[in-house]
């Protein structure tokens, strides 16, 4: 479906301008504040071709489109100009009461949203990482071989430079200069800073001691930095005259934010990481069962906030000092539970795009790369993420009871199992299997995944009775495919007929309920008593007239009979304004029928289509 068709269908399902307080867009989402959420069929919107999913958070109804969201937004505004960004349809946009739950969900939604544009690249790189690890374990390649090093660079690059990619997408969402954000992120992962971070070398910034942290593959630091940029950028834009603003504002942002990041964000990240490592090590020694629950259940949360790297040297030190590390096996259930949740989404959903992403994400998670799974599937859908955490906690506690340990440092994945061979290995495998199976089962049955089932609240189509549609206006019947409007001519929105009007009265072609009535009067939607969904559109591009020459005669929600006057319009005046006045009647759920068009020539409120 093209952007025009998707925008039209979104407006139809949401209830048109009269049900929208405000609409705007970020990098991937159309964000609506609605007057009556109960009127909007979420499942039908999620089923639209071009819609990835629907998210409800912070009082917003968010339709996730992807990279072309801007084009869809512009088509929405073209259909309803009064909904342009920053304007409302007569009421102040509802912000919704801020609660801890809504704030947390908003944070997760934002973090997930910034990953959407490059999930495919992450998934492909994750699979390549897993295959390379398998090749080393099987002896097909060595880590020092040229082929391994080249392919490892291809697989690791997107993860190593993750802050740069995140800077671009986060800046797009927050509407700040994307390339300045990327420049800041590039400074954070520059070779010199990475080397200083690895050695914990203290440097001096005008008397302020700075200990750079390692920001490669981190998520939260750069997101916080872009939020800071959101506040500072308008200040510097106002400071400089427009003749030099494009140069001087970015200069000021780089001069201020990069040191601020290294002085403030770095130490905070390092401190949080140190506290976390100390707490988990102490917990593992004093209350092992609780450590299994925490590590197995919350490890992926720790990964999201980018402070998990503090535990890597702890685990490596344990192996060097004691020959084994007890924490590494506990992490595997956390990983496998996410893989199980992704598998459940793959099995449950009927959305082709989601199924494809869930399938590849299952594989990457099994190989230990959970980012595509978390940000593309489980965290985005929320419930699967929470349920996977529960499954990971159960598996983690079983692994702790086993007493299994890792004898070598490795990425927590199915490929790391050989490093756990020894004491308690068998029971630890049981914990891994339980985590994977439980993550799958819980998500499949309780994950709230839209399986694509028919909306039970919608009236069913009775094909045995069939239905005849009368002409909505008297005039000359012409082929829909011959219209100048590509959306109608391509039958993207459904099959139908077009009529060149001889008068200015549109009447109901069937008995049913008015489900959609544009304030401009140029379009009206009817749901017939037998289940057909009909859109009547008067003229081409007549939305631009903003209601001029149109007079609606019915109200939304009103039941009408065949022949009930719906809209009065002045077709001659419309044509003098330079617009076509052709009336289109579209069956928007035409895929459920066999449709036949009756006759040609002039119509006189007689049947022009049959549905069977």
Residues involved in catalysis: 26, 537
Q: Which of 400, 383, 594, 605 is nearest to 506 (CA)?
A: 605
Q: What are the b/e assignments for 174-202, b being 16+ CB within 10 Å?
A: bebbbebbbbbbebbbeeebbebbeeeee
3-state secondary structure of 281: helix
3-state secondary structure of 585: strand
3-state secondary structure of 535: strand
Return d(Cα 106, Cα 338) in angstroms, integer. Answer: 21
Q: Which of 529, 554, 544, 607 is nearest to 577 (CA)?
A: 544
Burial environment of residue 450 by CB neighbours within 10 A (0 to 12, 13 to 18, 19 or more): middle
Burial environment of residue 206 by CB neighbours within 10 A (0 to 12, 13 to 18, 19 or more): exposed
Which residue, chain included where needed, has tokens 């407006």?
11
DSSP conformation class of 325: B
Copy the structure tokens of residue 126. 């994750």
Copy the structure tokens of residue 445. 């049955």
Return d(Cα 362, Cα 47) in angstroms, integer. Answer: 23
DSSP conformation class of 409: -
Contact by Cβ (8 Å): 203, 213: no
Return d(Cα 312, Cα 535) in angstroms, integer. Answer: 60
Residue 74: CB atoms within 10 Å: 16
């Amino acid at each position: 479906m093209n952007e025009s068709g998707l925008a039209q269908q979104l407006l139809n399902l949401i209830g048109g301008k009269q049900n929208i307080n405000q609409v705007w867009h970020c990098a991937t989402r159309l964000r609506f504040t609605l007057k009556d959420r109960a009127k909007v069929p979420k499942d039908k919107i999620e089923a639209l071709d071009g819609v990835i999913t629907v998210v409800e958070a912070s009082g917003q109804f968010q339709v996730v489109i992807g990279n072309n969201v801007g084009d869809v937004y512009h088509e929405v505004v073209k259909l309803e100009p009064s909904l342009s960004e920053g304007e409302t349809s007569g009421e102040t946009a509802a912000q919704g009461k801020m609660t801890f739950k809504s704030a947390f969900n908003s944070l997760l939604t934002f973090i997930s949203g910034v990953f959407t544009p490059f999930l495919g690249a992450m998934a492909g790189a994750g699979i390549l990482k897993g295959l390379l690890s398998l090749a080393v374990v099987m002896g097909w390649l060595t880590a020092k071989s040229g082929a391994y090093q080249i392919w490892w660079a291809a697989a690791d690059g997107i993860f190593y430079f993750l802050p740069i990619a995140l800077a671009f997408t986060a800046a797009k969402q927050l509407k700040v200069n994307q390339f300045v954000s990327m420049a800041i992120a590039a400074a954070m992962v520059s070779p010199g800073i990475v080397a200083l971070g690895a050695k914990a070398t203290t440097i001096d910034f005008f008397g302020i001691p700075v200990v750079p942290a390692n920001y490669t593959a981190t998520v939260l630091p750069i997101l916080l930095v872009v939020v800071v940029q959101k506040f500072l950028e308008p200040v510097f834009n106002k400071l400089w005259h427009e003749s030099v603003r494009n140069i001087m504002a970015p200069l000021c942002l780089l001069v201020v934010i990069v040191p601020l990041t290294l002085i403030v964000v770095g130490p905070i990240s390092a401190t949080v990481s140190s506290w976390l490592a100390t707490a988990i090590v102490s917990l593992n020694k004093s209350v092992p069962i609780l450590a299994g629950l925490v590590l197995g259940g919350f490890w992926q949360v720790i990964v999201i906030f980018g402070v998990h790297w503090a535990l890597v040297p702890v685990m490596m030190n344990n192996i060097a000092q004691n020959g084994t590390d007890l924490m590494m096996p506990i992490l595997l259930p956390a990983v496998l539970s996410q893989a199980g949740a992704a598998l459940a989404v793959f099995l449950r959903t009927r959305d082709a795009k989601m199924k494809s992403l869930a399938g590849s994400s299952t594989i990457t998670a099994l190989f230990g790369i959970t980012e595509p799974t978390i940000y593309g599937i489980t965290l985005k859908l929320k419930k699967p993420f929470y349920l996977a955490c529960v499954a990971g906690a159960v598996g983690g506690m079983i692994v702790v009871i086993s007493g299994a340990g890792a004898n070598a440092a490795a990425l927590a994945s199915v490929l790391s199992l050989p490093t756990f061979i020894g004491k308690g290995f068998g029971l630890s495998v049981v914990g891994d299997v339980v985590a994977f199976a439980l993550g799958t089962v819980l998500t499949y049955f309780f994950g709230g995944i839209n399986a694509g089932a028919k909306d039970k609240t919608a009236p069913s189509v009775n094909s045995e009775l069939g239905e005849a549609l009368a002409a909505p206006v008297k005039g000359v019947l012409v082929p829909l495919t011959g219209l100048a409007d590509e959306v109608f001519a391509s039958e993207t929105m459904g099959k139908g007929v077009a009529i060149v009007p001889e008068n200015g009265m549109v009447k109901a072609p069937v008995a049913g309920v008015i489900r959609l009535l544009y304030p401009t009067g140029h379009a009206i939607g009817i749901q017939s008593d037998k289940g057909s969904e009909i859109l009547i559109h008067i003229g081409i591009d007549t939305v631009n007239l903003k209601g001029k020459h149109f007079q609606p005669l019915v109200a939304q929600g009103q039941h009408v009979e065949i022949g009930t006057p719906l809209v009065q319009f002045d077709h001659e005046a419309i044509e003098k304004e330079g617009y076509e006045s052709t009336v289109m009647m579209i069956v928007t759920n035409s895929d459920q029928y066999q449709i036949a068009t009756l006759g040609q020539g002039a119509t006189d409120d007689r049947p022009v289509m049959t549905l069977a």
